[in-house]
Amino acid sequence: MSQSDLSANVNVSYLEQMQGKLWRWDLVAIVGSVLLGVVMTVLAAVMERVDTALTGGAFVILGAINFYTIAALATLLFRLPGGLIAGQTNAFIAVATGTSPMAPWFIPTNAAFAIIYALVIWKFRMDRWWHHLLANVLGVWLSMLIIAWGLLVTIELPLNIVVISYLVTSVAGSLGATVLSIVLANAVDRSRVLQ
């Protein structure tokens, strides 16, 4: 889909135009995904440091809400490639700048979330709040298993702490991302900034 295809349908909302699509490979999608990945990392620089200061990185609550919100938004706007590129951009910068001790684990986690979320939004119209909740719950709870494994292997936390961390982060991440991604996606749609 090119930029002219999008601007030709100005009467149809951007999110409606994206319904039923799994792929987008145009330059707007690629550049937009990279910039959303950078946005995610800039915000994470504040949030993950607070998480690390409070819990040593075992409970990445604010970091999870930030990551899953922007990753969901990137996937909603630019579909599977968008989610993958935004997630990997975030992981790349996090590894490069040493923002979080768990940064190397973001690479598979971010990819898993983007794939699961994109598959759900491909099959649903995403015009009901529970569509968003379903996509986020599936994406967050499954991808967080990778982070939980990372906490066990890299930080060698006891299993009971890892389970508590997994539950707390997944609940906060899925609920926070659902609310914020709906608000942001609707705001982007109304602003017509991508049309």
Of 170, 83, 172, 76, residue with least CA distance to 125: 76
Cβ neighbours for 46, distance < 8 A, ≥ 6 positions apart: none
Here the tokens at position 95 are: 């590894």
Minimum distance of another protein from residue 107's CB (angstroms):
11
Closest to another protein by CB, 52 vs 75, is: 52
* Alpha-carbon gap, residue 33 to 65, rounded angstroms: 18
- Rounded to the nearest 10 degrees, how much is the dihedral formed by the CA atoms of 8, 10, 16, 19? 20
Q: What are phi and psi of 135, to 5 degrees?
A: -60, -45
Judged by the rule CB under 8 A, the positions of this chain that interact with another protein are 3, 26-28, 30-32, 34-39, 41-43, 45-47, 49-50, 52-58, 62, 70, 73, 77, 85, 89, 92-93, 95-98, 101, 103-104, 154-158, 160-161, 180, 183-184, 187-188, 191, 193-194
Closest to another protein by CB, 118 vs 134, is: 118
Cβ neighbours for 59, distance < 8 A, ≥ 6 positions apart: 51, 165, 168, 169
Minimum distance of another protein from residue 63's CB (angstroms):
12
Minimum distance of another protein from residue 35's CB (angstroms):
5
Closest to another protein by CB, 45 vs 171, is: 45
Closest to another protein by CB, 80 vs 134, is: 80
Minimum distance of another protein from residue 163's CB (angstroms):
12
Minimum distance of another protein from residue 123's CB (angstroms):
25
